[in-house]
Structure 1
């Protein structure tokens, strides 16, 4: 990437209340541009709602926050314009039927249409088709390099379907897609979910390298690495009073993915996850997800 500029993030007493109660409350954060920020907490504690709020996708209820000097929730659209979502289950998921190449082409096309000022867009349209394609290829190649994803080593190269990717490969693809837009803030959910110890280290190394390249990274995890700026969400909805934290249940939007349902069938944990999925849908509808 060619010198991306990260966003400074600050928050004081930030809280979000949905139809089932508080997703999170009393969150404080100060992070410099290019920081690696881990949102740490148990499933059901409001981590994903906090991630979405700080990236301009959910409207907070109380407290104050700024992203690159833009106040939230007043400047939601402006914050969305400088931020990008990686993997966020239920909000920004990869299509399992599409190939890696199809995802990349689609994102590059969308970026060319909707990114930048009107002047920049006009200038882009005046370039030849060959120049536009070359520009899109450069962006894709830069993003893939930073994300550490080499399509050539995939089973079918860039024609590999998302359903055939390993979890770490899918994470790298989602990060690459987000980086095509050269955001100041990258937000990623479920960073360490269902990864082996080695893959977990690789995932954090990936996000660390993105931050080192200049982009501020905000990542949800169950356990933050020691070198990250860490903000911790509250107790799990499984142990908190129902009236105090339940939107947080699926404020956790993706704390478990589809595979986990079969692994923990019938357990209390799985029930919490199903409740959580409903909670985030409610919260998104209530708080104004973009």
Structure 2
């Protein structure tokens, strides 16, 4: 399935005390790797959620595939998915890899399939679910046989990159055309970062558009930079000298902290930005909007 093209024009999200992000204007072709780069607390998760139809922008407009934002958020949610977003897509450490996969397949069949599909013979439904799972695992590069206990391996026993791959696989069960991933390179070694970016590139090569939050973007991505001085401006792959930051001249941390005060902005819970504060505010705002 082909990925979604993404175009934004002066896209922004304002809370009661300030801007989470503002002035985002860029165009990305279907199957692009889009990296949202910036420090923790700079509006990265807010922008990710807005571009995937999970949070309503308050300024500007965007076109993601056929969906026009902010008016057609529900349509976009139907063709997009999230992975590795703390507070939103958390894996249960007590459940096994197999249990997570079976649960996601059941949810997909119940809420993501057609009525006609629900009426098919049980054996046919089971085979279709198995194929979906195997295809998703293959795309995410997660080999269950290589895990300590195979499918019975508990999430708590997974390595960090393995857990990220599982989260991606669960998102891919729904065959999204746009995949959003948060904290892509958080607490990873250089070798692990290279491994994760190689995974995301493989997804884009297969046609899926990927939007990934990171602290340092690779050179071949379309880069949206947040949290510095001079205006949030996208950087095309290989481009240099981009102006970055908040358009109003506030520091990124001050802007995100301001927006988080009223529960609209999901970023920046304190004067000193912290990754846990960043995702906690995102989860709170996400749940408050009734879209968790």
Determine if the alignment matches structure 1 residue 130 to structure 2 residue 113. Answer: no
Match for residue 182 of structure 1 among 175, 198, 206 = 175
Name which of 76, 80, 84 aligns with 1:79: 76
Correspondence 1:211 to 2:204: yes
> 2:286 aligns to what?
284
TM-aligned CA distance change 1:39 to 1:131, over 3 Å? same
- Deviation of 1:126 (Å): 2.7
1:233 aligns to what?
226
Of 234, 244, 248 in structure 1, the residue corresponding to residue 255 of structure 2 is 244
Inter-CA distance 150–246: structure 2 relative to 1 (3 Å threshold): same
- For these two proteins, the number of residue pairs brought into alignment is 268
Matched, 1:45 2:42: yes
Q: Are residues 246 and 209 of structure 1, via their aligned partners in 2, closer, same or farther at CA, if it must alter by over 3 Å?
A: same
Query: Distance between the aligned counterparts of 1:112 and 1:136, measured in 2?
Result: 8
Distance 1:80 1:104 in 2: 20
Higher relative contact order (CA 8 A, sep 6+): 1
Shift of 1:57: 0.3
Whether contact under 8 Å (1:45, 1:248) holds in the other structure is no
TM-score for both structures, normalised by structure 1: 0.85
| Superimposed CA distance per residue, residues 181-201 of structure 1 (whole angstroms, 9 cap, x where no aligned partner) | 100100000000111111100
**Aligned 8 A contact 2:16 2:259 in 1:** no
Q: CA deviation at 1:233?
A: 1.3
Distance 1:247 1:6, change over 3 A: farther
Residue 167 of structure 1 corresponds to which residue in structure 2?
Answer: 160
Q: How large is the RMSD of aligned CA atoms in angstroms?
A: 2.4
- With normalisation by structure 2, the TM-score equals 0.85
Q: How does 1:25-36 map to 2 (within 5 A)?
A: 25-36=22-33
Deviates more, 1:227-236 or 1:162-171: 227-236
